[in-house]
Amino acid sequence: MVEQRTGSPPTAQQELHSAALRPVVDAGRRFWLLFIGLGLVALAGAGAYGLQLVAGGLSVTGYNDQVFWGSYEATLVAFIGFSYGGALVSAVLRLTNAPWRGPITRIAEVSALATLLVGALFPIIHLGHPERIWLLFVQPNFQSPIFWDMVAILTYMLATLVLLTLPLIPDAAALRDHPRLGRWHRRLYGVLSLGWTGTEQQRRSLERALTVVAILIVPLAVVVHTVLSYTFSLTSRPGWHSTIFGPYFVIGAVYSGVAVVILAALAYRRAYGLQRWIDDKTIKKLAFVMVALGAAYGYATFSEITTEGFVGKEAEVELLYGLLLERFAPLFWSFIGLGLLAPIALIAFRRTRTPAGIALAAGLVIVAMYLKRILIVVPPLSRPVIGGDVGAYLPSPVEIAIVSGAAAGVVLIMLFLFRFLPVMAVDEMVEIEREQAEALASRGRTPAPQPISVSGAPDG
Amino acid sequence: MAGPGHEDSAAPADEASAEARLLDQHELSRRAFVKAAALFGTGGFLAAGGLVGLSSLARVSAAADLDSATAAELAKRQWAFVIDLRRCDGCGKCTKGCQQMHFLPEGQEWIKVYTVTGAGGQTISLPVLCQMCEEPPCTKVCPVVATYQEPDGVVVIDQEICIGCRMCMAACPYGVRVFNWQQPPQVPEGARSASPLFTAPQRQGTVGKCDSCAHRLREGDFPACVTSCPMEAIYVGDFVTDIATNGRETVVLSEFLRTNDAFRLKEELGTKPRVYYIAGHGQDLDF
């Protein structure tokens, strides 16, 4: 695994190593422009939260006694959902041993961590007394979904960290002595490599550990999103009290999370010229995964609306009229059009199934799924439970600043992490290629061009 | 943590010991992996276990802080309200009396008088205060047991503990819970109290609601809404002694409820409210 320093032209493996370190060794001027721009947005968000903390509490939000949850809760559900998509892409593709996973697992794992770290701030941001959060540990009520939200999110955070760091071990060992790395990076990689020398035994242990993590993270992430949905569905409120909420949240989470992975992968491959490794085929496969999940989400939406609307219970019908025809109709149909139909169409037709088309589809999914989370939180609250007027809610400037700052924060964390970590799982890619070559050889064939290859056929 | 680079520098003459060291290292890193896997595998369980351990220190509810004798004494009253809708004209004086009693911020209502339309098209005024559910959905979802049920059936909020997550507002099917978004107004020195039975002033960033004037009930006094109702439409009663009164006339509670076909709001939810309503003729019972 030690870098061979010879005068001959670089081998495919050496090229891969250099490519994976491009954002680390030479981020480029545009990186810093983006970094500073996003940093300012994040700072504005932090300032807005400071304002909320010291200068007026939650009165700086657009919340009221009827619509007492809104953008913060929607952001919490959305961001932790994004995280789940990244973790699941990495875990499921590993478990199914999908050979095309190599170049995107690292991006998926970092996306999972970045969105989770920011999303996990919102259960605190939305509190009236954030300084009392320690009471959740000291005198918890085990019946409360909020308590289990906390347990689930913290456990899942640990799992996401492990999912990111385990595959880093061989990468750190392989890249530790890369000539273009500085002293600090070499030291960091030395620590991360945990004494890895690449023996059979170590490989077996790592593989076993990774399998355990990948297996565990699937039910864990399902639990996180089900428990999040329980915050809503374990109440008797019409529009929330629904058995579909658990799976509905889980599907929505993966759907939007895969979109984040696609967008991040496309951005990095474009910015650092990684087309040879993160090729169009890989992006298309991810796009197909996203479309399948979008179809499932559309099905769940249809199923929920039909079962509630057909029977015609008063409260549910009122809510549905609001959603489909009245107050929330513009938002709802925007979600259907931009969040379900347009992305599916963009990817279904070969003409638009291009990197640009897929990027557009993924961007639409991210925005529309955020909108959908607002539609999950707000309409059931705005309908009065006994009598009186329909409650109004518009996010305040402080809310908008905090949520925008959070979105910028996610990208900042990703940019920051990829200043230190290789953007692709180089060891995994080398291993996959070796396994495939062996499999072909054992069938008595000569190695044909690989689907995803380290040596990399030019884009097709 | 030594890497392969260090092994390269090992003296070739000492091959046996180098190999031993190499094996040692493999053993070490192998152990590191097994450890990492084990750490993760058990991490979740440990976290959960630790929390369960901590919970042995946790109180189940503030009511459990009471010694059993006090709790038993308190349980000798099981408070209930009866609202005679035939008398209510929707003047809203109960709301005002309650606001004065509790020093509530402008616009905050702990007893809301809704105007609803009955099945026959008639207009009905419906005062809604905390329904004092026997099975309160709000206390179940509070993550820190800030809202709980007292032994006499009153559901209260400890605003010194409430973290302000508003989960109880989501759970309440009667919309009686409000949030203190703003800093509540000042309260005269002598009237200040941090007791969950009577919190004045209300704490910003916490949930508030009708406390059934528990502090007055225990002193043998009437709740503010009962005394401020000019129509004498609100009765307060006790299931143990089976008596209810609106301040002027006293009735046998169970008989009063039975003979007048009293009903409760959203009975189908199983919350078992202890606030009963008496409808006039032809009124719709399902609000």
Q: For A358-393, what is each residue's pLDDT tens digit?
A: 999 999 999 999 999 999 999 999 999 887 778 889
CB A280, CB A355: distance < 8 Å: yes
**Does residue A57 surpass a pLDDT of 60?**
yes
- B25 to A195: CB separation less than 8 angstroms, yes or no: yes
- A236 to B269: CB separation less than 8 angstroms, yes or no: yes
**Burial letters A21-47, b for 16+ CB under 10 A, else e:** bbbbeebeeebeebbeebeebbeebee
Confidence category of residue B44, pLDDT binned at 50, 70, 90: low
Lowest-pLDDT range of A171-185, A236-250, A265-279, B6-20: B6-20
- B33 to A173: CB separation less than 8 angstroms, yes or no: no
| 3-state DSSP of chain A | CCCCCCCCCCCHHHHHHHHHCHHHHCCCHHHHHHHHHHHHHHHHHHHHHHHHHHCCHHHHCCCCCCCCCCHHHHHHHHHHHHHHHHHHHHHHHHHCCCHHHHHHHHHHHHHHHHHHHHHCCHHHHCCCCHHHCCHHHHCCCCCCHHHHHHHHHHHHHHHHHHHHHCCHHHHHHHHCCCCCCCHHHHHHHHHHCCCCCCCHHHHHHHHHHHHHHHHHHHHHHHHHHHHHHHHHHCCCCCCCCCCCHHHHHHHHHHHHHHHHHHHHHHHHHHHCCCCCCCCHHHHHHHHHHHHHHHHHHHHHHHHHHHHHHHHCCHHHHHHHHHHHCCCCHHHHHHHHHHHHHHHHHHHHCCCCCCHHHHHHHHHHHHHHHHHHHHHHHHHHHHCCCCCCCCCCCCCCHHHHHHHHHHHHHHHHHHHHHCCCCCCCCHHHHHHHHHHHHHHHHHCCCCCCCCCCCCCCCCCC
Average pLDDT of span B23-34 = 54
Confidence category of residue A2, pLDDT binned at 50, 70, 90: very low
Residue-level pLDDT at B244? 95
Average pLDDT of span B111-130 = 88
Residue-level pLDDT at A456? 47
Residue-level pLDDT at A449? 52
Predicted complex ipTM: 0.86
Instruction: Please state, in angstroms and rounded to a whole number, the distance separating the CA atoms of residues A160 and A83.
Output: 9
**Does residue B214 surpass a pLDDT of 70?**
yes
Residue-level pLDDT at B2? 39
Q: Which residue has the higher pLDDT, B38 or A202?
A: A202
Q: Which residue has the higher pLDDT, B36 or A357?
A: A357
**Which of A77, A139, A192, A231 to substitute to test the interface with B, most B CBs within 10 Å?**
A139
Q: Nearest by CB to B33, which of A173, A193, A205? A: A205
Local structure of B126: helix, strand or coil:
strand
- For residue B85, list chain A residues with Cβ-Cβ distance below 8 A: none
Nearest alpha-carbon partner for A264 in A368, A163, A411, A102: A411
Residue-level pLDDT at B117? 81
**Percent over 90 (pLDDT), chain A:** 63
- Give the pairing of strands B275-278 and B79-84: parallel
Residue-level pLDDT at A312? 86
Helix axes A145-165, A105-119, angle to 10 degrees: 150
Per-residue model confidence as pLDDT tens digits over A219-237? 988 998 999 999 999 999 9
Per-residue model confidence as pLDDT tens digits over B176-196? 999 999 999 989 988 898 899
- Dihedral, CA atoms, A348, A349, A350, A354, nearest 10 degrees? -80
Q: Which residue has the higher pLDDT, B277 or A196?
A: B277
- For residue A68, list chain B residues with Cβ-Cβ distance below 8 A: 166, 169-170, 179
Q: Residue B171: closest CA among chain A residues belongs to which residue?
A: A235
Residue-level pLDDT at A297? 96
* Min Cα–Cα distance to chain B from A162, Å: 7
**Does residue A155 surpass a pLDDT of 80?**
yes
**Does residue B76 surpass a pLDDT of 70?**
yes
**Does residue B225 surpass a pLDDT of 50?**
yes
**Does residue B166 surpass a pLDDT of 50?**
yes
Residue-level pLDDT at B11? 43
Nearest alpha-carbon partner for B83 in B267, B256, B283: B256
Residue-level pLDDT at B12? 44
Per-residue model confidence as pLDDT tens digits over B198-209? 998 999 999 999
Lowest-pLDDT range of A13-17, A39-43, A154-158: A13-17
Mean pLDDT of chain A: 89
* Min Cα–Cα distance to chain A from B45, Å: 9
- A144 to B116: CB separation less than 8 angstroms, yes or no: no
Lowest-pLDDT range of A186-200, A283-297, B45-59, B142-156: B45-59
Q: Nearest by CB to A195, which of B32, B137, B265? A: B32
**Burial letters B255-273, b for 16+ CB under 10 A, else e:** ebbeebebbbbbeebebeb
**Percent over 70 (pLDDT), chain A:** 94
- For residue B175, list chain A residues with Cβ-Cβ distance below 8 A: 66, 384-386
- B205 to A138: CB separation less than 8 angstroms, yes or no: no
- For residue A144, list chain B residues with Cβ-Cβ distance below 8 A: 140-143, 167
Q: Which residue has the higher pLDDT, A445 or A21?
A: A21
